[in-house]
Amino acid sequence: MMSRKGIEAIHALSPQQLGMLFESLYTAGMAGSPGSPGSGMHIEQKTFVFDDSWNMAAWLESWQRVVDWHPALRTAFVWRNQKEPLQAVMSHADIPFEQHDLGELDESARQKRLAAILREDRKRGFVLTQAPLMRLAAIRMSDKSSVAVWTHHHILLDGWSLSIISRDVSHFYNARCRHLEWSPKPSRPYRDYINWLARQDLREAEAFWRGRLSGFSRPTPLGQPESGNDRVGEIAPAALTAQDGSEERYGYREFHLPRSLLVALQSTGFAHGLTLNTLLQGAWAVLLSRYSGQRDIVYGTTVSGRPPELAGVERMVGLFITTLPLRLKIEPGKPLTIWLDQVQAEHLAMRQYEYCSAGQIHQWSEVPGTLPLYESVLVFENYPMDDAAHPATNRENEYVGAQTRHALAVLVSAEEELVVRIIYDTHRFHGEATAHMIEHLWSVLASMAEDIQQPADALAGLIPREQIPAVRLPARSAPRIAPQTPTEQILAQIWRELLGLEEVGVTDNFFEYGGHSLLAIQLVSRVRSTFQLDLPLHSFFDAPTVRDLAALIEALLLDELARLSEEEVQRVMSGTGRD
């Protein structure tokens, strides 16, 4: 258990943080030992390109000042020997910093080495029990150019917070270079949001989400099943290899659409009271409808998650952003203007209940726990920006979003042009499929801007059938090995009830069969009450199968029996034994 020395505050996690913690621990456990770095899951990275006027010492000092100012940046996470994970805000945390010098390499070798450094840095991840969950690096490219890198875990911050942090660093840096003092505006600590969450009543939210998702029982397909993979259950997850022939589990592609398209969309949206986000949501729904062959579709969409009733929330730093299921139905012949109005209204309606966790919403749906509620996520990055910038920085800054467990994440930002970034599971997609997706998205958006009165379903016809992505379906291990011991049988029954499975094998992995953070906590609670054991939460990551967990429980029970026997002997020897 973490010592309280040097700790400023301890509090619970938000549902978003809890989900990221469990996914990070699970994927790290697959890469090595649970809780260790190495998976690259939920790691974000931003690079800055500086010219020779860059003051590196002032930049580093500015970052440390920002970490000292914002409690969220000094946070670590503890879960061992805890009934539920907690986050601890440290009183102080020094930012790790490293340097590289590539100035002696030729241009080709320099770029290759830079790419390798960035890739290795992302995959290195973080030890979640050690603050700060961020680090900096400086890479000298030449006498006139350097690349600085800021890497952090997504569990700390969302995109809105990134804007706040970048702005504060810029102001500190500019003041430091001018030998001036500057202090950020006061902001509320993240724990105020955690306390706000605890006061919310979930009954009304549950009724809302059950109503919105009623009748929807399977995730929307992302394309046509790849030839030879028409059925789920033929290939074990561990046997899957990257579609692109690479060793990377997740691919990353970035596309820039012309400024003229952005201008046309903004003009069309303004004329009909539609936001750019609504147009993007509608276009993605059309793509999914065409790809899946279904008119009733669900995908994930992100919302800021910042409750307006929490005063000062726009200045708070932490993880607020959340992903909600957006269910849309494309009705034949309905004009785009009417349909997009409904899309916008639906998006606003669900914002009232955005404080619910993904696990809770999944449980309130009719989609089995062994299946994802949705497989794609659309993220419209619309964060507050500040004009303050490093005077030594040019416009070549880059940002690489975090990997998630979704098969496909589409991130769209609107600056001088539309920038679309796709993070995809290489076990499921070929890289060339993502290029077609961008072409389809571009085509649909352009058609929307040209004729906003056309029927929504007519847009789907713009996508050639032969270009519908081929998708490798997720698979499950087979055959199952039935539970043998009484402990295995009890655990299998608990799993069946929580995951909604008809059968559970002793080697089935809880997380691979749809287990998420909420279900994992419920499982541990059931195990504790059933076996009357104080089972540590972290042991579930060491033993995520029925067989391994049964063996762990039986070992703990034997230890308990041995301990009780020793106590009885001592009582007898002291004359206070049993009557």
291: domain CATH number? Answer: 3.30.559.30
Residue 143 lies inside a defined structural domain of this protein: yes
Distances (CA, A) of 287 to 223, 269, 376, 422: 10, 19, 11, 15
Q: Are residue 333 and residue 456 in the same domain, yes or no?
A: yes
Distances (CA, A) of 275 to 101, 268, 279, 280, 411: 45, 9, 7, 9, 17
Q: What is the pLDDT of residues 34-48, one digit of tens each?
A: 444 555 778 999 999
Whether 64 contacts 95, CB under 8 Å: yes
The residue out of 193, 218, 238 marking a domain boundary is 193
Q: What is the pLDDT of residues 56-72, one digit of tens each?
A: 999 999 999 999 999 99
Q: Are residue 123 and residue 214 in the same domain, yes or no?
A: no
Residue 481 lies inside a defined structural domain of this protein: no
In 3D space, the residue among 471, 545, 495, 542 whose CA is nearest the CA of residue 226 turns out to be 471
Q: Are residue 222 and residue 282 in the same domain, yes or no?
A: yes
The residue out of 171, 193, 215 marking a domain boundary is 193
CATH of the domain at 155: 3.30.559.10
Residue 154 lies inside a defined structural domain of this protein: yes
Q: Are residue 275 and residue 134 in the same domain, yes or no?
A: no
Q: Are residue 186 and residue 205 in the same domain, yes or no?
A: no
63 is in which domain, residue-wise?
7-193
Burial annotation 182-195 (CB, 10 A radius, 16+ → b, else e): eebeebbbbbbbbe
Distance CA 57, CA 146 (A): 13
Residue 237 lies inside a defined structural domain of this protein: no
In 3D space, the residue among 415, 479, 459, 386 whose CA is nearest the CA of residue 163 turns out to be 386
Under the phi-then-psi rule, with left for phi > 0, alpha for psi from -120 to 50, and beta for the rest, what region is 35? Answer: left
Burial annotation 316-334 (CB, 10 A radius, 16+ → b, else e): bbbbbbbbbbbbbebeeee
As beta bridge partners, residue 409 has 377, 423
Low-confidence ranges of the chain (pLDDT < 50): 1, 30-36, 229-246, 387-392, 394-396, 569, 572-573, 575-579
Residue 39 lies inside a defined structural domain of this protein: yes
- Two tokens, residue 505: 């094998």
Residue 400 lies inside a defined structural domain of this protein: no
Domains held by the chain: number: 3
Q: Are residue 187 and residue 217 in the same domain, yes or no?
A: no
Q: Are residue 215 and residue 348 in the same domain, yes or no?
A: yes
Burial of 308 (0-12, 13-18, 19+ CB in 10 A): exposed
Q: Are residue 122 and residue 262 in the same domain, yes or no?
A: no
Whether 372 contacts 527, CB under 8 Å: no
Distance CA 448, CA 445 (A): 5
Residues contacting residue 487 through CB under 8 Å, at least 6 positions apart: 531, 550, 553, 554
Residues contacting residue 485 through CB under 8 Å, at least 6 positions apart: 550, 554
H helix or E strand, kind and range, residue 399: strand 398-400
In the prediction, which pLDDT does 227 show? 65
Residue 161 lies inside a defined structural domain of this protein: yes
Distance CA 492, CA 56 (A): 57
The sign of the CA dihedral 120, 42, 432, 449 is negative
Residue 521 lies inside a defined structural domain of this protein: yes
Q: Are residue 208 and residue 269 in the same domain, yes or no?
A: yes
Q: Are residue 322 and residue 185 in the same domain, yes or no?
A: no
Distance CA 414, CA 267 (A): 14
In 3D space, the residue among 468, 471, 504 whose CA is nearest the CA of residue 488 turns out to be 504
H helix or E strand, kind and range, residue 115: helix 107-124
Q: Are residue 457 and residue 318 in the same domain, yes or no?
A: yes
HSE value, Cβ hemisphere, 13 Å, CA-based, for 511: 20
Q: How far apart are the first and last CA of the chain?
A: 39
Q: Are residue 256 and residue 284 in the same domain, yes or no?
A: yes
